[in-house]
Amino acid sequence: MTDRRGFGFVDVLVLGLLGTLLVLGTLQVLITNRRAYAAGDAEATTPGELRRALQPLAEELRAVSPRDGDILAGDASGITFRRMTDFGTVCDVSGGPTQRLTVRASADAFAGGGPVLVFADGDDATSADDAWLTLRPAAAAEPVECPTGAAGKLLSFTGSADGAALASHSIRPGAPVRGFSVDRWSAALHSGRYYVERRRDGGPAVRVAGPIPADVGGAGPLVFRYLDGAGQAISDLADVRRIEVVWRSGPDSGEGVGAVSADSLLVRVAARN
C-alpha cells in the first residue's frame, strides 16, 4: 500500500524557518554589498567632483587683481576675494548734487544695485594717486544712452554717503567700473567629513564638493598657497602673483614598499595684476 501522508506541522515550521533564514542571509549580503559599492562610488567620484568645483574657482581667481586689493583675506585654510560680476566703462559724468555716472555696459549689467568699484585716475602724469573707489549706488542702475548713443546704465549716488567720495576724485570717461560680490572658499568639517564650501556676500555656505574622510592630516584637505613672481611663499596679499590650491583626498600611509599615497589635485592660477 502506498503511503500518502504529507508534511506535518513540524515539517512545515522547520521548512519555513529555514527559508526565512535563507532570505535574511541573502538580504544581508545584498545590503552589505550595496553599502560597500555606494561608499566606493562616493570615494571614486570625489576627485571628479572636485575638478568640477575648482574650475569656477580657478576662473574667478584669474580675474582677481591682488595689487588692487581684490584679495580681502587669505590663509592656508581659505581665501576671501572680490568676484567680478559686472563690467563697464564710464561714458559720462554728472557732478554737483546729483553725482551720477553713466556707464557703457550690457543690458543686464549692474541690475542688482550692489557695490561697484570705480577707477579714479587722478593726475595723468603719475600713477601714485590712482585708486579704486568702492561705492554703493543709491538705487539699482537705470537703462540710458551714452552721449555716443551706445547703450548704458545710469548709476546714481544722490543721497548716498559715497556721493561725497565720488565728488572728491577725478572720474573721467573711459574709466573702468566693476560690479562685484565678496566670495569665501574653504573646507569645512561636518559629521566627520570634509566639504568644500563657498559663501557669497556673507550668506549661507553652499557645499560644492565632498565628502571625504576627516583623517587627511596636516592643514586639512584643501590648502591655499600664495606665491610671488619667483614662486616663493609670501604673506603680503597685495604682492601675490600666483595662487596654488591643493586638494588631498586622504592621508599618506608612509614611505617605502606597500605605502599608499593619497590622491591629490593641484591647481595653479596666475593672478591678474
In whole angstroms, what is the distance from residue 224 CA to residue 61 CA? 12
| Global pTM value | 0.71
| pLDDT at residue number 253 | 45
Any residues with CB less than 8 A from the CB of 217 and at least 6 apart, and which?
Answer: 251
Q: What is the pLDDT of residues 200-230, one digit of tens each?
A: 988 999 988 877 766 555 556 788 999 998 9
**pLDDT recorded at residue 258:** 42
Residue with cell 611663499: 233
Contact, 29 vs 172, CB < 8 A? no
- Mind listing the pLDDT tens digit for each residue in 54-90? 888 899 999 898 988 899 999 988 999 999 889 999 9
pLDDT of residue 121: 78
Please compute, for residue 166, the number of CA atoms within 13 A of its CA located in the half-sphere on the CB side.
29
C-alpha cell at 183: 566670495
What is d(CA 254, CA 100) in angstroms, rounded to the nearest whole number?
A: 63
Q: Rounded distance, CA 23 to CA 73, Å?
A: 59
Residues in the chain predicted with pLDDT less than 50, given as ranges, are: 41-45, 252-261
Residue 217 backbone phi and psi in degrees, to 5:
75, 180
pLDDT score of 259: 40
Q: Domain ranges for the chain, please list them.
A: 46-80+182-270, 84-180
Give the whole-angstrom CA distance, residue 222 versus residue 31: 33
